[in-house]
Amino acid sequence: MSQGINNGSALCRFCGSPLHHTFVDLGMSPPCESYLSQEQLNAMEPFYPLHVYVCDQCFLVQLEQYMSPEAIFCEYAYFSSYSDAWLQHAKYYTEMAVERFKLHGASQVVELASNDGYLLQYFVQKGIPVLGVEPAANVAISAIEKGVPTLVKFFGEELAREMVTEGKGADLLIGNNVLAQVPDLNDFVQGMKTFLKPGGVITMEFPHLMRLMEENQFDTIYHEHFSYFSFFSVEKIFAFHGLKIFDVEELSTHGGSLRIYACHGDDTSKVAGNRVDELRERELAAGVADLGLYSSFDEKVKKTKRLLLDFLINAKETGRSIAGYGAPGKGNTLLNYCGVRTDFIDYTVDRNPYKQGKYLPGTHIPIFHPDKVKETRPDYLLILPWNFKDEIIKQMSYIRDWGGQFVVPIPEAKVIG
């Protein structure tokens, strides 16, 4: 297997064992949310390794932490509310949770990494008390403006104890796409255990490592994502902190996510359902507890890079123009790893006004308002947030008026007819 042996300093974020086995090495990359202004283009940019390891003891796939969480999250460019599909997902979740967990005007719903209030706003509409915890001040302000009370803090055991002392606690504790981004995983999960009321429920959504591997989603690896979870690893981590996973759903969001439902380990009112056993067995059969499963991924990723470059080179050789759609973190991993700059892609567009007028980190591809596509009529539109490709193809279907075509880079470069 490809074994980049590290310098021996890195230890597993969960179990503390030394990390020796490479999962994938994407080389050096800038922090993926560090969009640049024009004035910053001539300045030095920090690049950090995107070298992911798998622990040979607990099989947690993980990236070393190179930057402080404060540096990453204090001004976060990702506003959840800019995606219609994600808002719809949040709305459906709210309907389900209110009914399944019998939430009412005296319940307390808490979301960790509540972003701009994209989810909690739907609980507010139903008259259910909410609290958001969000470390990025700029997105938290947007939540507060929506009427979602939000604490601008990092969550962990210390904050959980502080809030419990003040008589707070959660009946429903939500964490969507946050677990991967927690540098001190044990402190965070212990904090959830502390903050959960007896009889309360935790639900968390995170990208499923098995799908990442199966569908070659290496571009979802970035410095902000420290851990990549199988059901196997997350169940082990929760059990260590006295939490029991009693249900799990496989969702299509973010290229394939898990939604886990957890409670206190001694809560006998919730019995683990079939889906938990079924998924656990399916992962074991796929080799989730065997290093062999992880060792082949690096080569698969290199092959995807060659396929994308083949497509781009061919398009340019035949005189076609290519623009990007979206400026997501995953696009930055992809473009930096593949070395794709304005030599291939003239520009990209994004609906998020915060990103318009800026440049992608590393590659310096300019970001415009989506109307730019109408003006320049590119032959190809490369969809970087491929997890929203259906929504984007619908929004941008007018490119077909001039014979434009959509391209997705993952799981391999493909033109959508």
The neighbour count for residue 272, using CB atoms within 10 Å, is 15
Closer of 180 and 384 to Zn ion (Cβ)? 180
In the complex, what is the shortest distance from the CB of residue 55 to Zn ion, in angstroms, rounded to a whole number?
3
Whether the CB-CB separation of 47 and 41 falls below 8 Å is answered with: no
Q: What span, in angstroms and rounded, lies between the C-alpha atoms of 319 and 308? A: 17
CA-closest candidate to residue 181, choices 79, 302, 63, 313: 63
Contact string (CB under 5 A) for Zn ion, positions 333-352, x = contact = --------------------
Q: What span, in angstroms and rounded, lies between the C-alpha atoms of 233 and 227? A: 10
Whether the CB-CB separation of 337 and 25 falls below 8 Å is answered with: no
CA-closest candidate to residue 370, choices 342, 354, 351: 351
15 contributes a contact to Zn ion by CB under 5 A: yes
In the complex, what is the shortest distance from the CB of residue 54 to Zn ion, in angstroms, rounded to a whole number?
9
Contact string (CB under 5 A) for Zn ion, positions 33-62, x = contact = ----------------------x-xx-x--
If binding means CB under 5 A, how many residues of this protein chain bind Zn ion?
Answer: 8
Closer of 8 and 403 to Zn ion (Cβ)? 8
DSSP 319-387: T--EEEE---HHHHHHHHHHT--TTT---EE-S-TTTTT-B-TTT--BEE-THHHHHH--SEEEESSGG
Closer of 57 and 342 to Zn ion (Cβ)? 57
In the complex, what is the shortest distance from the CB of residue 18 to Zn ion, in angstroms, rounded to a whole number?
9
Closer of 12 and 136 to Zn ion (Cβ)? 12
Whether the CB-CB separation of 326 and 392 falls below 8 Å is answered with: yes
CA-closest candidate to residue 64, choices 213, 230, 234, 225: 225
Radius of gyration (C-alpha) of the chain in whole angstroms: 21
Closer of 22 and 348 to Zn ion (Cβ)? 22
In the complex, what is the shortest distance from the CB of residue 17 to Zn ion, in angstroms, rounded to a whole number?
5
Closer of 186 and 356 to Zn ion (Cβ)? 186
Closer of 10 and 67 to Zn ion (Cβ)? 10
In the complex, what is the shortest distance from the CB of residue 35 to Zn ion, in angstroms, rounded to a whole number?
34
In the complex, what is the shortest distance from the CB of residue 56 to Zn ion, in angstroms, rounded to a whole number?
8
* Pairing relationship of beta strands 367-368 and 348-349 according to DSSP bridges: parallel
Interface with Zn ion in residues 58-117 (CB under 5 A): 58, 60
Closer of 12 and 189 to Zn ion (Cβ)? 12
In the complex, what is the shortest distance from the CB of residue 237 to Zn ion, in angstroms, rounded to a whole number?
10
* Pairing relationship of beta strands 61-63 and 227-228 according to DSSP bridges: antiparallel
Question: Is residue 390 classed as helix, strand or coil in its secondary structure?
Answer: helix
What b/e string do you get for 116-140 counting C-beta neighbours within 10 Å, with b at 16 or more?
bbbbbbbbbeeebbbbbbbbbeebb
In the complex, what is the shortest distance from the CB of residue 1 to Zn ion, in angstroms, rounded to a whole number?
17
Closer of 184 and 267 to Zn ion (Cβ)? 184
CA-closest candidate to residue 303, choices 409, 415, 416, 229: 409
CA-closest candidate to residue 233, choices 50, 25, 23, 13: 13
In the complex, what is the shortest distance from the CB of residue 13 to Zn ion, in angstroms, rounded to a whole number?
7
In the complex, what is the shortest distance from the CB of residue 71 to Zn ion, in angstroms, rounded to a whole number?
25
Joined tokens for residue 273 = 């359902």
Contact string (CB under 5 A) for Zn ion, positions 111-150, x = contact = ----------------------------------------
Closer of 141 and 289 to Zn ion (Cβ)? 289
Q: Which residues bind Zn ion (CB under 5 A)?
A: 12, 14-15, 17, 55, 57-58, 60
